[in-house]
Chains A and B, each alone.
Chain A
Amino acid sequence: MIETRGTWAYEIGGVNLEIMDYADQGDREYTPGIFNVLNGDTGTQLGQKNFVGKTGFSSLTATEEGGAYADVERDSTYLTQMSYTKYTGAVEMTDELIADNNYQSQLNAMKDLSKAANYDQDKSGLQIFNGGFATTVTVNGFNMSWYGDAVPTFSTVHPTLSAFGSTQSNASATGIKFGHDNMNTARIALMKQQTDNGKAVMATGKIMIVAPIDLDKQIQEELDSTLDPETANNAINVWRGSMDVAESLHLTSATAWFLLRQGDHELYHDVREGTTLEQDRTVKSGITTYTVASRWTESVRGWQNSWGSKGDLSSYSS
């Protein structure tokens, strides 16, 4: 979109009312960063990345003296094919607008384009959760690279390629709401997740609650109260200070909540090309074009060490 002196009614010197103060909402855009929630990665000289993994060996077998040793087996995990998407923005400004406006800092196109790129990377990262109960690639305008097991990231029926494992769930089948007892249900479910060949997982990272800002009051009550906030029995609050919290305005559901095992989960924000800001002036029209471009993807390379509930008390099976 081109901006001219006609675009900005109040910013041009000598025109219109005298403005005494100027509020730049661009400076207040919500950009808390995404790497507190997602793991970070970068790509180099790659148009696409592929991820796969393996299990350890299956269990050993009790064997009699002189008997033949039993075989063990290890298996592949599903393939994640990750492709990057380029996100861009451009704006044009006329020479006259650049020269005549009284708000050079506020109308600085590069500054606002840079902020837009930061904002959208944060917003893009959270779409893993917004789109996590489906397999739709494009979620709110951002492209996801989902784990290759063909079910949602938060699924009740994650399949396995191993004959020694079985279908597993990392989602609530009844959409349990966030709360004291349900936190226990979720935490136990997270801890009982197994490898694809059915072995217990050694997870060391602290659990993080990822939730919309709508649940902020409840989360504070559950994590900061001395006593169990949901009973009058003077029971201690076992969750006090036990988990980290990431709340986001980019989560679209007011009820869905998630648990992540920090450092162990497989949810990534992967940047192939960092934000590039450029400008070029067309001398024959006196129009300067400002552009921003960045290439990234959100990738889910596995579902273990993550758990989610829609929090809507509805049955969920997918």
Chain B
Amino acid sequence: MSFRKYASTDPHGAPILRKSIITNSVVTTVMDSVSLASGLMALGTTGTTVFGHVVSIHTKEGLSPITSGATGAAIGSYTGTFTATSTNSTVAKVYALCDVSQSSLYSASLDATIGTTTGSDLGGYRMDLNDEESLDESTAGTGTAQYVVVEVDRNDATRTVVNIFESQVFNT
């Protein structure tokens, strides 16, 4: 269950990066869908507008964390998932670097078999999040939702390629 960066609808292709300090005690994994809550990065949920996807996690000095952030974690335990402390927003200030571009395409895993609901494998349909690392297959439809379907992943037919539709940054 995860998002993967797939491509870009923009031929120039560069991500649009914004940093956001992680909300206290939140467990963040690279590529998670996230939104801003009270100015801090929170994990994406159904119904909230999407800020972006985490491309990397940084200490306040701009470098990689050296532990997973969990209490007592050993040096070297960081492998892409970071647990923020209960005072992160004011003390450690570990932040997520997020790609907020609506042009960025992601290959998303679904909580049910692709194509079960009409549109989860069809360009132009839309879907909401199941959680921060997958889409809710049953929400596929033509109404407004958090993500818009582009195509089926050409390298993995169980996954759908999407881009952000309801953006917290851009007018949608």
Contact = CB atoms under 8 A, between A and B. Distances in A.
Interface stretch (A12-20, A57-65, A216-224, A228-236): A12-20
Contacts, number: 69
Contacts of B62: 5-6, 96
B64 interface: yes
B76 interface: yes
B76 A289 contact: no
Q: Which of B7, B13, B76 has the most CB of A within 10 A?
A: B13
Q: By CB atoms of chain B within 10 A, which of A6, A7, A282, A287 has the most?
A: A6
Contact of B154 (A3, A10, A141): A141
Interface in A225-269: none
Contacts of A138: 154
A145 to B, nearest CB: 17
B66 A4 contact: no
B99 interface: yes
Contacts of B4: 1
A155 B14 CA distance: 47
A50 interface: no
Interface residues of chain A: helix, strand, loop or mixed (majority) = loop
A5 B75 contact: no
A261 B57 CA distance: 55
A285 interface: yes
B75 A6 contact: no
Interface string B18-43: 00000000000010000000000000
Contacts of B5: 1-2
Interface residues of A, number: 23
B58 A6 contact: yes
A8 interface: yes
Given A4-B97, A7-B56, A285-B14, A12 B75 contact: no
A201 interface: no
A3 B7 CA distance: 14
Contacts of B97: 4, 6
Contact of B55 (A1, A8, A15, A16): A1
B64 to A, nearest CB: 4
Given A1-B55, A7-B56, A282-B14, A12 B154 contact: no
Nearest to B94: A6
Interface string B46-76: 0000000001111000111110000000011
Interface of B: 4-5, 7, 13-15, 17, 30, 55-58, 62-66, 75-76, 78-79, 97, 99, 154-155
